[in-house]
C-alpha cells in the first residue's frame, strides 16, 4: 500500500467518522442533556433534536442516493445540493418549532437556531454560485465551538478534529482549501458567537 493510498484511506475514515449527521446528533444530545432538568426531558428533547436535525435529513439524502438523484450520501456534486440542503433546513426548522412548543430549554433552542443560521448562510452560497461551502467543515467547527461555549475552554483542544476534517475533505478532492475554511468560519461564527448571544 502506497503512502498516497494510505492517506486517502485515512481521509475517507475521517470523513465518515466525523460526518455532519454524526456530529450533529452527538452535539444536540449533549446539549439536551446539559440543559434539561430531568432525564426524561433530556431524552425527549434530545430525540426530537436528533430526529429533526440529523436522522430525517440523512434518511432523506440516502433515499435520494438510492433513487439516483444524488451521487453519494455526502452529495459531493455541489450542483446537486439544492434539494438536500432545503430538506435539512426544513426538517431542522420543524424540529426547533416542536421544541419551542414543548418548552424545551433555551440553551437547546439557541443552539438549533444558530445551526439553522449557519445553513442559511452556507446554502445560498452553494446553491446560487455553485461554490460548495464544506458542510463537513462547517459542522465540525460549529460542534467544537458550541461544546466550548457549553462545557468550557478545555473543549477547544478538539479543534484538532476540525483541522483533520478540513484536511480530509481537501485530500479527497471534494473541496478546496477556500471552501473548507469558509465552512469552518461559518460554523464557528454561528455557534461560537451567535449561539451564546441567543442565550
Average model confidence (pLDDT) for the chain? 95
Q: Is the pLDDT of residue 4 over 80?
A: no
Give the distance, in angstroms, between the CA of residue 54 and the centroid of all CA atoms in the same chain. 8
pLDDT in tens, 162-198: 999 999 999 999 999 999 999 999 999 999 999 999 9
pLDDT in tens, 116-152: 999 999 999 998 998 999 999 999 999 999 999 999 9
pTM beyond 0.85: the answer is yes
pLDDT in tens, 90-123: 999 999 999 999 999 999 999 999 999 999 999 9
pLDDT in tens, 21-43: 999 999 999 999 999 999 999 99
Residue where the block lists cell 458567537: 193
Quote the pLDDT of residue 76: 84
Amino acid at each position: 500500500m502506497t503512502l498516497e493510498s494510505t492517506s486517502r484511506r485515512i481521509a475517507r475514515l475521517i470523513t465518515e467518522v466525523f460526518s455532519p449527521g454524526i456530529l450533529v446528533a452527538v452535539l444536540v444530545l449533549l446539549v439536551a442533556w446539559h440543559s434539561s432538568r430531568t432525564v426524561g426531558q433530556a431524552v425527549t428533547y434530545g430525540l426530537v433534536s436528533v430526529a429533526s436535525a440529523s436522522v430525517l435529513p440523512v434518511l432523506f439524502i440516502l433515499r435520494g442516493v438510492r433513487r439516483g438523484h444524488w451521487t453519494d450520501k455526502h452529495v459531493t456534486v455541489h450542483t446537486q445540493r439544492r434539494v438536500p440542503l432545503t430538506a435539512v433546513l426544513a426538517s431542522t426548522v420543524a424540529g426547533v418549532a416542536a421544541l419551542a412548543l414543548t418548552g424545551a430549554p433555551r440553551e437547546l433552542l439557541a443552539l438549533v437556531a444558530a445551526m439553522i443560521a449557519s445553513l442559511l448562510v452556507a446554502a445560498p452560497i452553494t446553491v446560487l454560485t455553485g461554490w460548495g461551502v464544506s458542510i463537513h467543515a462547517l459542522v465540525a467547527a460549529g460542534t467544537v465551538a458550541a461544546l466550548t461555549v457549553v462545557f468550557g475552554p478545555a473543549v477547544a483542544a478538539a479543534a484538532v478534529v476540525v483541522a483533520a476534517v478540513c484536511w480530509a475533505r481537501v485530500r479527497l478532492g471534494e473541496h478546496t482549501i477556500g471552501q473548507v475554511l469558509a465552512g469552518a468560519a461559518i460554523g464557528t461564527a454561528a455557534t461560537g458567537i451567535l449561539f451564546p448571544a441567543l442565550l
